[in-house]
Amino acid sequence: MLEGGEEEKLRAECTLSGVQLTPKGRVILGQRSRPIAYPRLSDTHLEKMWIYSLGVTVRGIVSWQEASIGLKTILSRMLSPDLHSRASLMDLLDVSTSV
């Protein structure tokens, strides 16, 4: 457990040198290196991740030249690389109710 009760998850790292292919086409994972620990993401971090993903999807669908100023503004905030300045779900709800 981490401080504040957060869980710590482990994942095994597999390297190319540890992967073997059998004559029948099966993959055998050889000896793995030490596990890597990473903290559990908070609900806020997960929300911002989904907001970014939605922004990428909308950006791929919408023609940027034809998008309104309001849509460009919210998409820019959704796609912000800075987690703290990225749009939140409440920001999106505010925009959707004001349209």
Whether residue 86 contacts residue 80, with contact meaning beta carbons closer than 8 Å, is answered with yes
Mean pLDDT, 10 residues at a time, over the chain (99 residues)?
Answer: 50 68 77 64 89 93 88 92 91 78
Regarding whether 94 and 47 lie in a shared domain, the answer is yes
Structurally, the chain folds into a number of domains equal to 2
Q: What pLDDT is recorded for position 55? A: 93
Regarding whether 48 and 26 lie in a shared domain, the answer is no
Cβ neighbours, 10 Å, residue 30? 10
Q: What pLDDT is recorded for position 70? A: 86
- For 85, residues 6+ apart whose C-beta sits below 8 A from its C-beta are 77
Q: What pLDDT is recorded for position 77? A: 94
Q: What pLDDT is recorded for position 12? A: 56
Regarding whether 87 and 49 lie in a shared domain, the answer is yes
Regarding whether 91 and 49 lie in a shared domain, the answer is yes
Regarding whether 33 and 55 lie in a shared domain, the answer is no
Regarding whether 52 and 35 lie in a shared domain, the answer is no
Reported as a single tens digit per residue, the pLDDT across 48-61 is 999 999 999 999 99
CA distance 74 to 90: 12
Q: What pLDDT is recorded for position 7? A: 52
Print the domain residue range for 47. Answer: 43-98
